[in-house]
Amino acid sequence: MTRRSFDLPATIPLFVLPGAVLMPRTRLPLDIFEPRYLQMVEDALKTPHRLIGMIQPLDEDGETLAEIGSAGRVVGFSEQDDGRYLISLGQVQRFRLAEAEQGFHAYPTGQIDWSGYDGDRDDAEEDPDWDRDRFLGLMKRYMDANDLSTDWEAADEAEAELLVNSLAMALPLEVQDKQALLESATLSARRELLEGLLEYELRHGENDEVMQ
């Protein structure tokens, strides 16, 4: 995949949303309907980089933001009849939030430290210790236990990075768990953490059934 090259700005708009993380080399579809975020999208589209920073709140009030987020470029955009925007963000690079500001915008913006995540702009990462059969077996057990469905043919053909990162984004995990997955330094570390989270959820579910 050809990754567009441009200078990363010191300040970007922030989309604060629990449970929404943007993993390296993925795309995230978003349904935008809040007025402040509608304005954010319109403003982002006027910039040469079209970047939006996805970041999770760590409290219910949304006042405490995670230290690490991930910026995506608006690579797809459509306006709906009811005024909503459907957009797709293509991940560019994770970042460290130096400071969040409200300023003159209806939406928050962030002073960004881009250092430490240059690898996000490289080609797909490999996981030499990945056991596809074991991973897919664990994934199936988790999906069945939670009445979730997926495209198993596509999952069976997917490369390790795409499958692990897509699951880390899509599964209904806790905010703290998704944040830990986002902050994982390598694909191997993210895959091992995801396996541990799924195994824990399965054991927890089995224990709940025994106690009933």
11-121 is classed CATH 2.30.130.40: yes
**pLDDT tens column, 85-98:** 999 999 999 999 99
Q: What is the pTM of this model?
A: 0.91
In single-letter form, the type of residue at position 17 comes to: L
102-157 pLDDT tens trace: 878 899 999 999 999 999 999 999 999 999 999 999 999 999 999 999 888 988 99
| pLDDT class of 5 with cuts at 50, 70, 90 | low
Q: Please count the residues of the chain.
A: 212
CA dihedral 12→14→15→21, nearest 10 degrees, is: 80
Residue 183 sits at φ, ψ, to 5 deg, of -80, -5
* Domain boundaries defined on the chain: 11-121, 132-211
Distance CA 140, CA 172 (A): 15
DSSP symbol at 49 = S
Task: Please report, for residues 13, 25, 50, 121, the alpha-carbon distance to residue 3 in angstroms, rounded to integers and kept in the order given.
Answer: 21, 9, 14, 7
Contact 96, 115 (CB under 8 A): yes
pLDDT at 1: 44
pLDDT tens column, 158-211: 999 999 999 999 999 999 999 999 999 999 999 999 999 999 999 986 555 544
The tokens describing 92, both together, are: 């560019």
The predicted structure's pLDDT at residue 96: 98
For 207, residues 6+ apart whose C-beta sits below 8 A from its C-beta are none
Mean pLDDT score, 17-30: 96
Nearest-10 crossing angle of helices 175-183, 187-211? 160
Q: How far apart are CA 207 and CA 209, in angstroms?
A: 5
> Span 67-93, mean pLDDT?
96
